[in-house]
């Protein structure tokens, strides 16, 4: 079977690796002329690690990752702990794999190197997919420069602004959430000794929250600060910069863990972009074409699960295709097995944003007490999923 994938993000790369490992011929079509490394952090729970383990990449990721002891939800000003989730060894024993903070560029490099080792011809850069057509027996993918590619099926892993999704489902469009995110990365040596424990710290306050954690063997600290803004700027993306003074202003009266971190960042290394999400779709494909990752189910990042969901998609897709020549049924099975879980994450992520940003201290404490009571079942939902073993329906 000959499979085309559009988009070499974390979803497309993982899908390509899973499918190559299963013996398929894969063409991974990526619009960029090189895969640039975004210096950001990504949290990978046990569910993501199971997929990496299947690909034989778990140890490589572990080598540069940081294993936090807990997730701490803290009051934005006092730092008081409102809620906490234990990670570390306890988590690893329960879910069969650790919880990691990974430097996104490291993860991308590991996936890309593995792809090159499998088959250096798989990745086709400078290949922007602009049109797809299908018959009963194949898919024809057209690139902007006029080249065409024939495949037995197409997996569209081309992100939240998926061109393939726009062609199949024109009314399914990303929506501006009313949130904007700051992103900074600071070398740890610039921070005072004992500045922060090895945890995921989520400071929550009125109309804002701020997630802070170490990556790359604790050499770097990643911060994502989310603020509310009614209007979306005309142009913004992951690499749009904004003045440090505006970031300092947004978090001026916050806990010193946050303010000291912002003070330590380089003036020209503050990024700010709008958070968009996709309303849950009822269909992820047609015939021999299926969506994967953010193209299918882009969520707000508040559950830190988007990359992990794309990896889960990739492995489940691979399992659905195995041992069958009936591609349409396999893609339907893939959708059937993934759509409910990812919809839950899309909806829960949007709800969490509201909870994190509650205005009154009383409401905030009450909401986090509620989260504690809601308890383990909800918290286990993400890491307890093993895409290598989950029973397929």
Ligand X SMILES: Cc1cc2nc3c(=O)[nH]c(=O)nc-3n(C[C@H](O)[C@H](O)[C@H](O)COP(=O)(O)OP(=O)(O)OC[C@H]3O[C@@H](n4cnc5c(N)ncnc54)[C@H](O)[C@@H]3O)c2cc1C
Question: Cβ of residue 129: shortest distance to ligand X, in angstroms?
Answer: 4
For ligand X, the closer CB: 3 or 307 = 307
What are the φ/ψ torsions at residue 145 (nearest 5 degrees)? -85, 10
Q: Strands 285-286 and 289-291: what pairing?
A: antiparallel
Binding segment toward ligand X, per CB under 6 A, in 19-27, 53-61, 302-310, 356-364: 302-310
Among 3, 4, 5, 10, binds ligand X (CB under 6 A): 10
Per-residue interface string for the shown chain with ligand X, residues 35-54, x marking contact by CB under 6 A: -------xx-----------
- Name the helix (H) or strand (E) containing 258: helix 256-264
Question: Cβ of residue 213: shortest distance to ligand X, in angstroms?
Answer: 9
Among 154, 220, 308, 314, binds ligand X (CB under 6 A): 308
Per-residue interface string for the shown chain with ligand X, residues 204-243, x marking contact by CB under 6 A: --------------------x-------------------
By CB under 6 A, residue 12 contacts ligand X: yes
Residue 150, strand partner residues: 140
Question: Cβ of residue 91: shortest distance to ligand X, in angstroms?
Answer: 16
By CB under 6 A, residue 278 contacts ligand X: no
Closest to 180 in 3D by CA, of 233, 120, 227 = 227
Say which DSSP state 241 is in.
Answer: B
Closest to 232 in 3D by CA, of 240, 222, 224 = 240
Q: Which of residues 52-111 bind ligand X (CB under 6 A)?
A: none
Say which DSSP state 190 is in.
Answer: G
Binding segment toward ligand X, per CB under 6 A, in 91-99, 151-159, 168-176, 254-262: 151-159
Say which DSSP state 113 is in.
Answer: H
By CB under 6 A, residue 383 contacts ligand X: no
- Spatial CB neighbours of 68, under 8 Å, sequence gap ≥ 6: 87, 88, 99, 101, 198, 199, 200, 213, 214
Among 61, 307, 317, 358, binds ligand X (CB under 6 A): 307
For ligand X, the closer CB: 179 or 254 = 179
Binding segment toward ligand X, per CB under 6 A, in 153-161, 184-192, 330-338, 372-380: 153-161
Q: Is residue 153 classed as helix, strand or coil in its secondary structure?
A: strand
SS (H, E, C) 260-321: HHHHHCCCCCCEEEEEEECCCCCCCEECCEEECCHHHHCCCHHHCCHHHHHHHHHHHHHHHH
Among 306, 318, 319, 386, binds ligand X (CB under 6 A): 306
Contact footprint for ligand X (CB under 6 A) = 6-12, 29-32, 42-43, 128-129, 157-159, 163, 181, 224, 293-294, 301, 304-308, 310
């Amino acid at each position: 079977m000959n499979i085309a994938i559009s988009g070499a993000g974390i979803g497309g790369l993982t899908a390509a690796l899973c499918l190559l490992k299963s013996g398929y011929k894969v063409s991974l079509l990526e619009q960029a002329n090189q895969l640039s490394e975004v210096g950001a952090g990504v949290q990978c729970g046990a569910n993501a690690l199971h997929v990496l383990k299947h690909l034989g990449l778990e140890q490589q990721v572990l080598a540069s990752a940081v294993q936090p002891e807990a997730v701490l939800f803290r009051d934005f000003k006092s730092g008081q702990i409102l809620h906490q989730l234990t990670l570390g060894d306890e988590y690893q024993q329960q879910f069969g794999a650790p919880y990691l903070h990974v430097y996104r560029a490291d993860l991308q490099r590991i996936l890309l190197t593995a792809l090159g080792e499998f088959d250096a011809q798989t990745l086709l850069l400078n290949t922007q997919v602009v049109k797809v057509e299908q018959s009963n027996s194949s898919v024809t993918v057209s690139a902007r420069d006029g080249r065409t590619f024939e495949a037995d099926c197409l997996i569209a892993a081309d992100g939240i602004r998926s061109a393939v999704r726009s062609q199949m489902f024109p009314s399914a469009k990303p929506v501006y959430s009313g949130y904007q995110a700051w992103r900074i990365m600071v070398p740890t040596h610039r921070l005072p000794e004992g500045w922060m424990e090895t945890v995921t710290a989520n400071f929550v306050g009125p109309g804002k929250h701020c997630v802070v954690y170490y990556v790359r063997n604790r050499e770097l600290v990643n911060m994502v600060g989310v603020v509310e803004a009614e209007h979306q700027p005309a142009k913004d993306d992951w690499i749009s910069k904004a003045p440090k003074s505006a970031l300092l202003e947004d978090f001026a009266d916050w806990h010193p863990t946050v303010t000291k971190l912002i003070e330590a960042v380089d003036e020209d290394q503050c990024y700010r972009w709008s958070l968009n999400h996709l309303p849950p779709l009822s269909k992820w494909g047609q015939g021999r074409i299926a969506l994967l990752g953010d193209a299918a189910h882009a969520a707000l990042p508040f559950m830190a699960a988007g990359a992990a969901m794309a990896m889960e998609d990739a492995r489940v897709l691979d399992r659905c295709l195995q041992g069958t020549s009936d591609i349409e049924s396999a893609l339907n099975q893939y959708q059937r097995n993934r759509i409910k879980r990812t919809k839950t994450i899309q909806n829960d992520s949007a709800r969490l944003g509201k909870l994190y940003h509650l205005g009154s201290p009383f409401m905030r404490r009450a909401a986090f007490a509620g989260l504690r009571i809601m308890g383990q079942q909800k918290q286990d939902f993400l890491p307890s999923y093993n895409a290598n073993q989950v029973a397929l329906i």
